[in-house]
Structure 1
């Protein structure tokens, strides 16, 4: 949760005041959280979605802060809101809630192998660096998860999550293209 470290360092009394309807406290809270949300979106959203994910998250912060149960869970709550915004934008750009695997197969079935390679290469190049790195190690170099953990110095869970997200982004790219 280090992506929202600034939001986690917010004064609990500021969060409580904003929850209670204090407009100045809410404006201050939004100003403090905005850079952290942008940093999170830059690492976890497609590049085209960053400028949409940040205001969408801030709008939800503005509208739903009163539903926050505990002031101490603010950064985790904001992290979840930002994550959902990134996923929602990814799905929206694909034009559907969830694209079945058949759609990718149907889209690629009529293409020549060279065209598939070009599309796949472009999809991989469109990934943020940290996702591209893990997908190249796993799917191109065919390294096992444990070796990728050693190469990147990440936890096993982080590697698996990045692989999953990268594959979703590649799938989305291939469907919309």
Structure 2
């Protein structure tokens, strides 16, 4: 049985009510169990760490929306599981563009409007966020590689 399932419900109730100390305590208590679960569920250690960070961020941001206190642990585990699946989907093997037949590009062209909108949205981001997005999602750097490139922490 994980320590997450044994968390005192008064701590969850206090965090749900906005008690910052209770939220901090929940973050600290939840991380080890979530990481163990994520390492079994995700494809890579990096994905596991990313999934746990997503779950902890959701805990911090959305604990107030939790309707059933007893569902706290399963709520967090579901977030990790969904994030692992999402990250696995991002890691599907890709074929280099020079190996794609020209006819394939003609069949599924990226709409010009979508290209323009995405370009405008990326350009509107603050510089650091734009750099992180480009390194992680376009250049496909790992999180540690992107952090090292930018001289920031993971």
TM-score range, shorter chain: 0.5 to 0.7
2:81 alignment counterpart: 83
Which of 65, 68, 77 is the equivalent residue of 1:67? 65
| Superposition deviation, residue 32 in structure 1 | 0.4
| Superposition deviation, residue 18 in structure 1 | 0.3
1:36 alignment counterpart: 33
Unaligned runs of 5+ in 2: 100-154
2:6 alignment counterpart: 9
| Superposition deviation, residue 20 in structure 1 | 0.6
| Superposition deviation, residue 75 in structure 1 | 1.0
How many Å separate the matches in 2 of 1:94 and 1:66?
35
Unaligned runs of 5+ in 1: 97-102, 108-177
| Superposition deviation, residue 95 in structure 1 | 8.1
How many residues align structurally? 95
2:17 alignment counterpart: 20
- Give the 3 Å change call, closer, same or farther, for CA 56–95 of structure 1 in structure 2: farther
Richer in helix (by share): 1
- Structure 1 runs, 4 residues or longer, greater than 2 Å off: 92-96
Task: Give the alignment's TM-score, normalised by structure 2.
Answer: 0.57
Task: Give the alignment's TM-score, normalised by structure 1.
Answer: 0.50
1:46 alignment counterpart: 43
How many Å separate the matches in 2 of 1:94 and 1:83?
17
